[in-house]
Amino acid sequence: MDKERLNILGDKFCALFGGDKSDIRYFAAPGRVNLIGEHIDYCGGFVFPAALTLDNVIAVRKTNDRKLTMAATDLEGIYVADLDDIDKAQELKWGDYQAGVAKELMAKGVELSGCQMLMDGTIPYGSGLSSSASIELVTAVALSALAGDKTIDQPEKLIEMALVGQAAEHNFCNVNCGIMDQFASAMGKKDNAILLNCGTLEYKYVPLNLGDYVLVLANTCKKHSLGSSKYNERRGEVDKGLEILKAACPKEVENLCDYTEEDFNQYGNAITDPVIYNRVKHVILENERVKKAVAILEAGDLEAFGKILCEANDSIRYLYEVTGDELDAMWEEARKIPGCLGSRMTGAGFGGCVLNIVKKDVVDEFVTTVGKNYEARTGIKPEFYICQIGDGAREV
């Protein structure tokens, strides 16, 4: 962690809340990029995310009251959530992820005290890079550590914190998300992606050896908002699909991703609604694609990996229909650049980023040309980031 950044954060903290730096602790949690496996975490599927070095860092100091006193370096004002009346924090303009996490921790019996927290984030908001999961995770580890938990560096505890973050999102923020983002933010590992089975939470790290290539995120700068988007609607559609398949196929399953491509070929026709049919087809085939893609990557065949990312994009665009004009324009412009092996929208969709595998020596040209053409088509100035894969939630 950049010492200078912590120093500056500590100074700002003291300027805002008074006192000196001696009793401040610092925690960090990253955003994530998902390489492949989109919109299938809530169907018990395989996903393949990696934590970014873009993150949220908080400076925290324990207080003797029962209040979470919160601020952020890029926001005006101080936001206060009362631990004894935590639901009221839903009315705050900012701070509901933190309050939601506090509520879930208290429900688990963790004895929280009040604290002052100043947050400093580098994840572009609304970019589909999981700034919300990062806020949840940094809050979860910080509040747990302040409550005396000495195990926040243990995988079991971090996975528990990921589940706390997800529960906060469901119960406090009304987004019925899967576990991928919180898991990646909790368990990320430098230079590795995580193959995660969202049905069982079994996982393995896969080193990202990209040789002459880098991962470039092209941000459409079209803000997505999970709550107001079609996210919960898609979940409803695949739930319906699961019900129909359960009635048609004799196999005992818990999740949609327990069905194979063969099962789908044999029983998929029971789904007569073409929209639901397409949603289910995406989910089941995407799950198969993730396993294939990871095997290909492990074998070092980047070109084939790039191709499979493009196939996955077609599926999420035409069958799952969560891309939209901006993501489609960005993807199409990226595909025109020689030296870009593959591209795929990443995250929930309806805005956010396209992930690209780009040869190092064409990155400049990629950024200039795609940027210019995307802006000409949409009127929006995009942003580009070269992905650095970093560690998960921790004290710094």
195 binding ligand GLA? (CB under 6 A)? no
Q: Which is nearer to ligand GLA, 55 or 181 (CB)?
A: 181
Listed residue (183, 89, 176, 196) closest to 136, CA to CA? 183
Residues 6 or more apart in contact with residue 28 via CB below 8 angstroms: 1, 55, 56, 57, 58, 138, 393, 394, 396
**Contact string (CB under 6 A) for ligand GLA, positions 40-59, x = contact:** -xx-----------------
Q: Do 221 and 263 touch, CB atoms closer than 8 A? A: no
Q: Catalytic residue at 301?
A: no
Pick the closest to residue 130 from 226, 10, 234 (CA basis): 226
Among the residue ranges 37-45, 76-84, 329-337, 361-369, the one whose residues contact ligand GLA (CB under 6 A): 37-45
CB neighbour class for 376 (10 Å; exposed up to 12, middle 13-18, buried from 19): exposed
Q: In this chain, which of 348, 353, 363, 393 binds ligand GLA, going by CB under 6 A?
A: 348
Among 177, 184, 294, 302, binds ligand GLA (CB under 6 A): 177
Question: Segment near ligand GLA (CB under 6 A), from 33-41, 188-196, 212-220, 294-302?
Answer: 33-41
Sign of CA dihedral 112, 118, 123, 126: positive
Smallest separation, CB 37 to ligand GLA (Å): 7
- Only one of the segments 35-43, 61-69, 294-302, 361-369 lies at the binding site for ligand GLA (rule: CB under 6 A); that segment is 35-43
Q: What residues pair up with 18 in beta bridges, in sequence order?
A: none
Cβ proximity to ligand GLA: between 175 and 358 the closer is 175
Q: Which of 55, 181, 258, 391 is catalytic?
A: 181
Asked if residue 178 binds ligand GLA (CB under 6 A), the reply is yes
What residues contact residue 97 under an 8 Å CB cut-off, 6+ apart?
A: 132, 135, 136, 139, 168, 169, 172, 173
Position 241 contacts ligand GLA (CB under 6 A) = no
Residues found near ligand GLA in the complex (CB under 6 A): 34, 38-39, 41-42, 177-178, 180-181, 347-348
Residues annotated catalytic, as ranges: 181
